[in-house]
A and B are shown apart, each in its own frame.
Chain A
Amino acid sequence: MSGVNASGWRPEMGSAEAADMATASGDKGLMLEEPLIFELAAPGTTGVDIDAPGAQPLASLGKFLRKDMAALPGLSEPETVRHYTRLSRQNYAIDLGPFPLGSCTMKHNPRLNEKVARLPGFADVHPLAPQQTVSGALEAINQLAFWLIELTGMHGVAMSPKAGAHGELCGVLCIKAALEARGEDRKVLLVPESAHGTNPATAAFAGFTIENIPATDEGRVDFAALEARLGPDVAGVMITNPNTCGLFERDMKRIGDAVHAAGGYVYCDGANFNAIVGKVRPGDLGIDAMHINLHKTFSTPHGGGGPGSGPVVLSEALSPFGPLPYTAKMPDGSVRLVEEENATEMGHSQAFGRMAAFHGQMGMFTRALAYILSHGADGLKQVAEDAVLNANYVLRSLDGELDAPFGASGPCMHEALFSDANLAEGFSTLDIAKGLIDEGFHPMTVYFPLVVHGAMLVEPTETESKAGLDRFIGSLRSLARRARQGDPALKSAPHFAPRRRLDETQAARKPVLAWKGDREA
């Protein structure tokens, strides 16, 4: 025979025995640890090539000149790309698998949205550029505004709020302004106990006192209790619909009518709009203001915590008080910005003020508009139907495995709510959540809403395939069983994530909020 394996390479399967061994690097295969940038390089370096300035600074700057550069390292491009790529691999994301966070609507973020948002005509335009040079940008905002008004059946929309909570503030301030215009000083806002924390925080900021409205055994607002409380001191109600238990408030229209009859206004938290978009118009149910989370219903990316965008649709009663600036379509078809200087001329002299610099989260507007145009009226209706179908599928598939406190009262909307009843002594919702991490999923929303003990709120969204849902349901069934039987391994989950459970007590008792490695004595 010719040469007998000169290179010496003889592939072997090796043993299948698992080895729990340490490595010299600390990395294990594709599980990569990554230090801080401050540990990778010392200050004084830079990874950008910048031309020489060509001139000394102005003499008049002399006394202002910074004496020491900010003590921060600059990494070369290869080091930078590697650092952030390695960090990214320690994150779960929608792109990896189901992200069933109730109330967050973690749907697929279409890449077309990213592409159009980056067109130079949108991305590389200054907000104060002369309006004649940005007519297309103004038109894009106006088109989105039109869609939001049509989808909700409302009269006007404030586009400037920067996020959902900011939008809540906008709506509540419109209500306050409307009351002032009527010469009334109503101090109380009624808020269901199940409300998201931003609701009372927002109301308190605006100077209102919050009173809780109790829920019925069927998880909905107790209409009788609410009606009994209405009076000349009640400015209105802040209601989430569908509510935070994932249920549609059947009495929504009656609530609106009663509140209006008593001289108040209805603020609707639109976080759960995904359940009804394109199929139900909140305006038909008598609301006065509703914020829309573009980063929920309209797919703009969550980006690890933000940015968001929270436009607020307004009724005819509240529209006059909407903040500046906003876009308006002129008789000749062009779109203008309405700001402080032309507000009166444009018939909008009662704006409660300005909520932020410039005119809104344009980068999210273009993404949301692309999403809406892609789906159209029929696609959006399908979104709501599939979202609700998926949630009910999860709800019923877990019959007998997890307690569903409102499961008997009828279908849920886009999210299914479970409690920790039936779990073994010493086992909690937290253990199921951490167990889900080991199963390869992001946990559902836990311990919210507060009205259910050990709440688990599952929102699959419409972009989850049936196969994906079945896998998730299978894992949740397994975890529910283990929690009911008291499997001790759950108490120390997760075992397979980049980190085990983290010591949040230490982080709160002795906060370390910045790197100090070069400053220790």
Chain B
Amino acid sequence: MPRYFTEDHEWIEVDGDTGTVGITDYAQSQLGDITFVELPEAGSAVNKGDAPCVVDSVKAASDVYAPVSGTVTESNAALEGEPELVNNDAETGGWLFRLTLSDPAELDGLMDKAAYDEFVKGL
């Protein structure tokens, strides 16, 4: 399944018109121990650039931006009892939420893995 990345360290994996969103391993390593994740409700509409999700560490709260627009279909319930999943497995098991894309053309502006890895090297 194709996976795209943003400069704010979100990833989105697309399957048809469903996207799964998470933060990258690089992002979780910068945040430190994650203590809580505030997740969006199913059915809520998000626009590209909104912050439907907040990732808390002990001393910081970081907004996670929606890489594309759409409607949230579900959030990762496992994170409620185990926020550390985002630290341990940010790019698969630590996924944050899923949404139905309203405008797949928005994916065109995002990076692929190679481009993202280059981007991170330059930071």
Task: State whether these chains interact.
Answer: yes
**Cβ-based interface call for B56 (8 A):** yes
Chain B residues 10-64 with CB under 8 Å of chain A are 33, 35-36, 56, 58-59
Residues of B within 8 A of A447 (CB): 59
A491 to B59, CA, bound (A): 19
Residues of A within 8 A of B56 (CB): 508
Closest B residue to A509 by CB, please name it.
B35
Count, A-B residue pairs, CB within 8 A: 14
Number of interface residues of B (CB under 8 A): 8
Residues of A within 8 A of B33 (CB): 505, 509
A505 to B84, CA, bound (A): 10
| A135 → chain B closest CB, angstroms | 50
Chain A residues 476-521 with CB under 8 Å of chain B are 504-505, 508-509
Chain A residues 433-465 with CB under 8 Å of chain B are 447
| B77 → chain A closest CB, angstroms | 16
**Cβ-based interface call for B83 (8 A):** yes
| B31 → chain A closest CB, angstroms | 11
Closest A residue to B36 by CB, please name it.
A508
Residues of A within 8 A of B35 (CB): 505, 508-509
| B32 → chain A closest CB, angstroms | 8
A447 to B57, CA, bound (A): 15
Residues of B within 8 A of A505 (CB): 33, 35, 58
Chain B residues 61-91 with CB under 8 Å of chain A are 83-84
Interface of A is mostly: helix
| B40 → chain A closest CB, angstroms | 21
A447 to B84, CA, bound (A): 24
Closest B residue to A508 by CB, please name it.
B35
| B50 → chain A closest CB, angstroms | 17
| B75 → chain A closest CB, angstroms | 18
A447 to B33, CA, bound (A): 18
Closest B residue to A447 by CB, please name it.
B59
A130 to B85, CA, bound (A): 62
| A447 → chain B closest CB, angstroms | 8
Chain B residues 84-116 with CB under 8 Å of chain A are 84
A400 to B65, CA, bound (A): 42
Residues of B within 8 A of A509 (CB): 33, 35-36, 83-84
Residue of B58, B83, B84 touching A504 (CB-CB under 8 A): B58
| A451 → chain B closest CB, angstroms | 16
Residues of A within 8 A of B58 (CB): 504-505, 508
| A463 → chain B closest CB, angstroms | 30
Residues of A within 8 A of B36 (CB): 508-509
Best-buried of B36, B58, B83, B84 by chain A (most CB within 10 Å): B58
A508 to B32, CA, bound (A): 13
Closest A residue to B35 by CB, please name it.
A508
A279 to B80, CA, bound (A): 55
**Could you jot down 11 A-B contacts, CB within 8 Å?**
A447-B59, A504-B58, A505-B33, A505-B35, A508-B36, A508-B56, A508-B58, A509-B33, A509-B35, A509-B36, A509-B84
Interface residues of B (CB under 8 A from A): 33, 35-36, 56, 58-59, 83-84
- 12 A-B pairs besides A447-B59, A508-B58 with CB distance below 8 A are A504-B58, A505-B33, A505-B35, A505-B58, A508-B35, A508-B36, A508-B56, A509-B33, A509-B35, A509-B36, A509-B83, A509-B84
